[in-house]
Amino acid sequence: MTPRSVQGRAGQAWTIAKIELRRVFFARRSFWVYGLALLPSVIFLGHGIDAKTDIERLGRRGLTAPALMDSIREGESLDDVKKRVGQPAAERWSVRSRRVRQRTGNAGTTTHPIEPPVGARFVRLNITRPSFNGEPVARIYEFEVYGPDGRANLALHRPATGSIPCGQDQGPEKAVNGSVTGGQADRWCAADWPLFLQVDLGAVRPVQRFVVKHASAGGENEDSDTREFNIQVSENGKTFTTVGSSTGGGYVDERTEVRQIAYFDGRRRADLVFIDGRVQHRNVRRLLDFEEDRAIFAGIFQYFYLRLAIFFGCLGIFMYLFRGEMSNRTLHFWFLAPARRDVLLAGKYAAGLIASAVIFGGGALLTFAAMIWPHDAVEVQAYWNAGGMGHAFWYAAAAALGCVGYGSVFLAIGLYLRNPIIPAAVLLTWESVNGIFPHVLQKMSILYYLQSLCPVPAPMDSDTPTLIRLLAAPAAPASRPGAMLGLLLLTAFVLWVAGLAVRRMQISYGAET
């Protein structure tokens, strides 16, 4: 092959690439790729704006000396902290309330006064929720009724009726016998609905207070105490009026005062949580931590950008180069053009590579810029002097080379297979678990070479399981020259396989519909 023929084919490939570029950049199917590429930059930009806003807002309310802020300890009272440290830059106050079981040693006895006293001959206890543990069984050891003088139990030994009892020795008369010490035979027990206990006082009398002794008053588990009930009175035994109720009987409202205050020293924010006036939790952190943001960027780049964004972005771009032409029934126009098919392959690949490299390489640089934007100029300058420019270059290079590798693979898959879902899933699985394989097999993974190019390893907690460590990072990273050479050789092999496919390719639009 003469240099002139090589130059001519290169010119043809470039012409094809320029024609394809417009379609790749502006195709509807490519728009979601821009979202993948720009998402990390939006996240970092939002983080920077939020941090800048907090710094400005907290700074307007006064700064606290760092030493005073660090002196706050858990257990200190709110008054002591404010007196020593000063007024906080931010403060919020709230009260949390929840209903809890009353555990004050009342032995399952509840008292229900009414004002003013009412006249009644019949007193009725209606039970709607018989227990705290969900059992449908009511257990009442004593039901007492008192008048305004509060001395005599008007229900004592009076005739009592109620729901069908659990047994003959646990009838309603046991709830008015004045005793709770006789065990389960000294109670009224019923499970037949409706659950009620009624006492006839013999004549209309003024009543003002009721006392109910539940299961735990007789020695049973407190979860068997009556949970919800009401008390009704009647003069004739036909029309009853509700004079008292217990919704969630045995419950009390537990109130907890919560105060959240923040101090700011110009760089760090101390968030303090006070529970009932005492420091329960303290968290001191920098609103903008350059080292932390760099580590987060490294993690996002390796776990999201390389493994997902570029992978699926190249799937969407390169699979469509030939397969899309088949769907649109336009591929035959290219095959009728006076150009070799391998030149057509090179032109389409170049178009997809330029588009994807610009999108993802530019996205990586934009995210990098959004990451460093809000930080102090002195820190950023020190970072540039310590090799920050090189970091930016290698991140962009890794993104572009990811497009080189994954683009060739998905271009070849598009020539051999119509449905990309299964091969894409297999390739994604291979790329994900490749780190646990021997070093020779790792070299057959595009991700292995891309990770070797990254300037900063992805952050990982010290307690991360070994298997996850192997899956997340290559066991023995290659050198950068070796990584670039290995990736290019792997790409060349895949493109050679794709060239074989495109030369043998026969157009059959009917199979694509």
Mean pLDDT of 380-397: 92
CB distance 389 to 372 below 8 Å: no
Longest dimension (CA), the chain: 125
Q: Kind of pairing, strands 138-140 and 188-190?
A: antiparallel
Instruction: Give helix 341-372 / helix 290-300 axis angle, nearest 10°.
Output: 160
For 397-423, the pLDDT digits (tens) are 999 999 999 999 998 888 887 777 888
Question: pLDDT digit string (tens) for 105-116?
Answer: 565 888 888 888
Per-residue pLDDT at 463: 61
What's the pLDDT tens digit per position in 181-195? 888 888 899 888 889
Q: Identify the band that residue 513 occupies on the pLDDT scale cut at 50, 70 and 90.
A: very low
Residue 50 has a pLDDT of 93
Give Cα separations from 205 to 26, 146, 156 (angstroms).
Answer: 91, 10, 14
- Whether the per-residue pLDDT at 62 is higher than 60: the answer is yes
Residues 6+ apart with CB under 8 A from 241: 118, 232, 233, 234
- What are the pLDDT digits (tens) for 334-347? 666 676 777 788 88
CATH number of 61-99+254-286: 3.30.1450.10
Q: Which residues on adjacent β-strands are paired with residue 110?
A: 212
Q: What is the dihedral of CA 442, 444, 450, 456, to 10 degrees?
A: 10
Backbone angles phi, psi at 245, to 5 degrees: -150, 155
Average pLDDT value for residue range 272-299 = 90
**pTM reported for the whole predicted model:** 0.65
Torsion of CA 142, 143, 147, 150, to 10 degrees: 30
pLDDT at 132 over 70: yes
Contact 58, 260 (CB under 8 A): no
320 pLDDT higher than 90: no
Domain residue spans of the chain: 30-56+305-512, 61-99+254-286, 109-249
Residue 476 scores a pLDDT above 60: yes
Mean pLDDT over 340-359 rounds to: 86
Question: Which residues have C-beta within 8 Å of that of residue 504, sequence separation ≥ 6?
Answer: none
> Which pLDDT does position 131 carry in this prediction?
86
Q: In the 8-state DSSP scheme, what is residue 153?
A: B
Q: What is the mean pLDDT of the chain?
A: 84
* Of 472, 442, 348, 450, the residue nearest 396 (C-alpha): 450
**pLDDT tens readout for residues 157-173:** 999 999 888 888 898 99
SS3 content of the chain, % helix, strand, coil (to 5): 55, 20, 25
Q: Rounded to an integer, what distance in angstroms lies between the CA atom of residue 326 and that of residue 417?
A: 12
pLDDT at residue 197 in the model? 92
Closest CA to 85 of 59, 66, 104, 99: 66
- What's the pLDDT at 509? 56
Enter the tokens of residue 483.
């990584």
**Inter-residue contact 119 to 205 (CB < 8 Å):** yes
Ranked by mean pLDDT, the top range of 22-36, 355-369, 475-489 is 355-369
Task: Kindly report, residue by residue over 258-273, the tens digit of the pLDDT.
Answer: 899 999 998 899 999 9
Q: What pLDDT was estimated at residue 457? A: 78
Nearest Cα residue to 94 out of 219, 240, 274, 245: 274
Q: Report the percent of the chain where pLDDT is more than 90.
A: 30
CA atoms of 370 and 367, how far apart (whole Å): 5
Q: How many whole angstroms separate alpha carbon 28 and alpha carbon 60?
A: 47
Residue 470 has pLDDT above 60, yes or no: no
Q: pLDDT-based confidence at 510, cuts 50/70/90?
A: low
Report the SS3 class of residue 315.
helix
